[in-house]
Chain A
Amino acid sequence: MSIIKVENLSKQFGAVKAINNVSIEVEEGTIFGFLGPNGAGKSTTINILCTLLSPTSGKATIAGYDCIRDSSMVRKAIGIVFQDPTLDKELTAYENMMLHAYLYNVKRSEIKDRIHDALRFVDLYERKDDVVKKFSGGMKRRLEVARGLIHRPRILFLDEPTLGLDPQSRANLWDFITELPAKHKVTVFMTTHYMDEAEVCDRISIIDNGSIIATGTPDELKKTVGGDVIYIKTSDNDKAKTEIQELFDIDVSEKNDELFLTTLRGDSCIPEIIKTIGEKVLSVRLQRPTLNDVFIKMTGKQIRDEEVSSTYTMKEDIRAYRRRFDRG
């Protein structure tokens, strides 16, 4: 069953189209990744889904409720970790959790236990009475995820959850996020612009300049870039080259004393290659396409060179528009 359903959603800020005809479906209990460079329209989409923005046209339903008409039912069904921290730094971890528990109308008799459980889950129980401004970036993020789960939402939105974290905290957070669907029966909808992090997703949509340009599982998407590359070092490159070419009937090239060939099933080709030219092989390595390769192929640009891309100026335009028109 699709727990999130977005149909032809568009949002315009003045003359700028932030998103254009976006359609998404997310199955219950999965991790969905929404990828794209900064300014591509990820946050706009999330803001519409969590009822902070109304779309110019199109439809979005969450857990069967319309994001525009039934906004309060939608709000009950979702938990959100925004890109920018939304914790009250002057309050303790426990008080921040409590603020949320009351806002989400959690039964008073359950509040304390739920907060303690959630804090244990994110390893912050010992720090529960510390003021949040003393926390590191990673701890704040974990606290926010715990807070997002306090009212047992059916869907958890994570907008760039690892932005600004060091590699170790990032890895910890991912371990933790991948456990969420099983442990908390929650569907995860996350955005990121770190392509390697999206590997953990069950399904992915890539958005660029406000439109969705590809959707599928990480493997499906990676297949679209043409398969695996096998690199082989041998004691006699010329001879090995002809032998492999005869074996698979494909072109083998040579670069830096290394042979390489592109194939769809890299892992099963390697044993055959070794059988044929076994005694000459010095080393073999297999390089699989990454989601970053997918992105480059789809958009013709690196995901991180946004400073020079048009999407950057689009974001600026939206900001300028917001400064002028939306005060509330």
Chain B
Amino acid sequence: MIEANAVYVLVLRELIKFFRAKSRLITTLARPLIWLFLIGGGMSRLVSPGIGVDYMQFIFPGILGMTILFSSIFSAISIIWDKEFGLMKGILVAPVSRFSIVIGKALSGTIVSALQAVIILLLFPFLGIKLSLMSFLYVIVICLLLSFAISTLGIVIATFYESFESFSVIMNFIVMPMFFLSGAMYPVNKLPVILKVISQINPLTYGVDALKHAMLKGSDLIDFSVATDIAVLVFCSVVFTVTAGIIFERKK
């Protein structure tokens, strides 16, 4: 059972904190901008001729994916903070189902990171990308779906850690490889076989691919169909939500 009140207040809490900590918004927006303009700008002369499109345009969907990846994972692993500072204990003794807690946390992450992705998305005219209104709305939907999938994945990861010392482990061994092997920086089909296989089990790959459909129309840099992308994201969301709920429910 999912309690609407509990989900609502968990989302509200996250939004209050998000808008109160203005510096967090600025730092999370700074990272994708740095990648887009410093890496993208620097690499474009080198790479563009080889892949047939402007490199900045090519990585733009990946930069949106990156914004979502970092923001969703950060938001989800705030559960580890909550555990360390005891707040989670206060939530766990309340008469709400564990699924409500997972959904509440996942939706908080989803809203916060989709919001940031949309702010970055507004740069598209400056990069020479053309989006119809329908494509724009499609991108927002994909951002929401991808944010939810990554947030629930983050919650599953967070259930395995008790303290924040593990933060750098999560960053270096989960988040960074996920980013690099998602087709964000280079086309998946040009990767060596082993890396290609890994990138195909990475949910972010499908989110980035779905975004490429809207932004790199007709290029051969798209790997899967829209239906596959969406199906994988929905499937991952369900699996991660259920897994997180079960782990939370299990008593010691």
Contacts and interface: CB of A to CB of B under 8 A. Distances in A.
A326 B94 contact: no
**Contact-size category for A:** 20 to 34
B224 interface: no
B20 interface: yes
Interface in A87-113: 87-91, 95, 98-100, 102-105
Interface in B82-108: 85-87, 89-97
A99 B8 CA distance: 10
B117 to A, nearest CB: 24
Contacts of B87: 86-88
B90 A86 contact: yes
Interface stretch (A72-80, A177-185, A250-258): A72-80
B95 A102 contact: no
A117 B91 CA distance: 22
A275 interface: no
A103 B5 contact: yes
B247 A52 contact: no
Contacts of A95: 13, 16
Contacts of A327: 159-162, 247
Given A53-B252, A102-B8, A105-B95, A323 B162 contact: yes
Interface residues of B, number: 31
A57 to B, nearest CB: 15
Given A54-B251, A99-B13, A327-B160, A104 B95 contact: yes
A135 interface: no
B9 interface: yes
Given A53-B251, A90-B17, A91-B16, A99 B9 contact: yes
A84 B94 contact: no
Nearest to A50: B93
A82 interface: yes
B94 A104 contact: yes
B9 A328 contact: no
Interface string A25-67: 0000000000000000000000000111110000000000000
A216 interface: no
Contacts of B93: 50-52, 75, 78, 80
A91 B13 contact: yes
B26 interface: no
Contacts of A90: 17, 20-21
Contact of B13 (A51, A54, A88): A88
Shortest 10 CB-CB distances between A and B: which pairs? A102-B9, A86-B90, A103-B94, A75-B95, A86-B86, A326-B252, A84-B86, A76-B95, A54-B251, A102-B5
Interface of A: 50-54, 72-73, 75-76, 78, 80, 82, 84-91, 95, 98-100, 102-105, 322-323, 325-328
